[in-house]
Amino acid sequence: KNRRVCHAAARLEMGSLWEEFNRLGTEMIVTKAGRRMFPTFQVKLSGLDPLADYVLLMDFIPLDDKRYRYAFHSSSWLAAGRADPAAPGRVHFHPDSPAKGAQWMRQIVSFDKLKLTNNLLDDNGHIILNSMHRYQPRFHVVFVDPRRDSERFAHQNFKSFSFPETQFMAVTAYQNHRITQLKIASNPFAKGFRDGDPEPW
């Protein structure tokens, strides 16, 4: 790997919250219009060259070749057949890309603009996923190589990270009621769903 990426390190933010979801079996809503992820994928970067330019991006890979269904009586996911044909593989570029290593390392990098959709014809650039399939988000740091023949070195110029605790099942509606409760309890944007919350005014 290029020396400008070989020391790159990424630490997942809100790791304990991700693990809490992961223990229950994380579910992420996909909608026609696109839905943001919660927990949001956020990382703290270190080991970049402060003066070099980097592009940050994410993609999502299927964890297996199965389609699932939720068995309510046992509160568990069961394989329900072969996976649907894979949705078009898309990447989501962090909107601040490209930027200097110093800028990326200065603050937490948040992929809060990323949206998940199940619309195969989506033209908004959202990540297209199949509902009732399991996915692993992947995060990539790409050094912007100024050399004229940089594509020859493309395979050396990036480093990828995946955090097993961020795996999830794509769903159109939450299946596990404990996931619903944890999302409402921990998502600041879900305040309206909390029982007995005094009105902010």
Residue pLDDT, tens place only, 12-41:
999 999 999 999 999 999 999 999 999 999
CATH number reported for the structural domain that contains residue 26 in this entry: 2.60.40.820
DSSP 14: T
Helices marked H in the chain: 3-6, 15-24, 101-106, 177-186
The verdict on residue 20 lying in a domain is yes
Query: Mean per-residue pLDDT for 51-71?
Result: 97
Range of the domain at 165: 3-188
CA distance 186 to 183: 5
Q: Mean pLDDT throughout 56-75?
A: 96
Q: Count, in order, helices (H) and strands (E) of the chain.
A: 4, 15
Q: What distance separates the 2 farthest-apart alpha carbons in the chain?
A: 61
pLDDT in tens, 147-191: 999 999 999 999 999 999 999 999 999 999 999 999 999 988 776
In a domain, 196, yes or no: no
Q: What is the pLDDT of residue 188?
A: 80
Q: Are 72 and 53 in contact (CB under 8 A)?
A: no
Phi, psi angles (nearest 5°) of residue 84: -65, 160
> CA 152, CA 181: separation in Å to the nearest integer?
49
**94-137: pLDDT as tens digits:** 999 999 999 999 999 999 999 999 999 999 999 999 999 999 99
Q: Return the number of other C-beta atoms located less than 10 Å from residue 67's C-beta.
A: 16
Of 50-54, 63-67, 84-88, 166-170, the range with the lowest mean pLDDT is 84-88
Supply the pLDDT for residue 190. 73
Residue 47 falls within a domain, yes or no?
Answer: yes
| 201 domain-assigned | no
User: For residues 129 and 60, is the Cβ–Cβ distance under 8 A?
Assistant: yes
pLDDT at 187: 87
pLDDT range class, residue 193, cuts 50, 70, 90: low
Number of domains in the chain: 1
Residue 67 forms part of a structural domain: yes
What pLDDT is attached to residue 201? 40
Mean predicted confidence (pLDDT) in 82-101 = 94
Contact status, residue 165 vs residue 15, Cβ threshold 8 Å: yes
Q: What is the pLDDT at residue 200?
A: 45
What is the percent of the chain with per-residue pLDDT over 70, rounded to a whole number?
95
pTM of the predicted protein model: 0.92
